Structure 1
């Protein structure tokens, strides 16, 4: 059974975060940091994974990713980053 991961990346160098979902976190992380040749995350490398959540369905993962992009979700991310 396929599992889906919602992940939050953080670029300390640029003080930027990125939220996404995937069914293969390792390959997706490599894409963000090394392999990708286009897209938003390219110019803010290097990225570190600061949060992951696992889901059994794609729709659950998409819903959670959408939540992290709301005002309340962004507050959650800000607290993750700045409470360390």
Structure 2
């Protein structure tokens, strides 16, 4: 997910993307803040199991790189 207001990306896994997006946009998560509003889905991957999804999430987060995320989503958030 990406918040243009905060210019931030969020990487996570979920079995219900719509619910998770709504949680972020209504500040119902510990990762959202008053400045990070207007989250939108900019990239998704689908996996056969939760463990596979968690492994991929850790891989993306281990890069600690905004550029890596932007390459995944095609070069930018807009």
Class of the TM-score when normalised by the shorter of the 2 chains: 0.7 to 0.9
RMSD: 2.3
**Cα displacement string for residues 7-32 of structure 1 (whole angstroms, at most 9, x for unaligned residues):** xx111111100001011111111111
The counterpart of 1:69, out of the listed 61, 68, 73, is 61
Indicate how the Cα distance of structure 1 residues 14 and 83 shifts in structure 2: closer, same or farther if over 3 A, else same: closer
Aligned residues: 75
1:1-84 to structure 2, matched below 5 A, reads 9-34=1-26, 36=28, 38-43=29-34, 44-71=36-63, 74-79=66-71, 80=73, 82=76
Question: Is the CA contact (8 Å cut-off) linking 1:18 and 1:41 kept in structure 2?
Answer: no
Question: Is the CA contact (8 Å cut-off) linking 2:2 and 2:77 kept in structure 1?
Answer: no
Q: Which has a greater percent of strand?
A: 1
After TM superposition, the runs of 4+ consecutive aligned structure 1 residues lying more than 6 A away are: none
TM-score, structure 1 normalization? 0.73
Residue segments in structure 2 that go unaligned for 5+ positions in a row? none
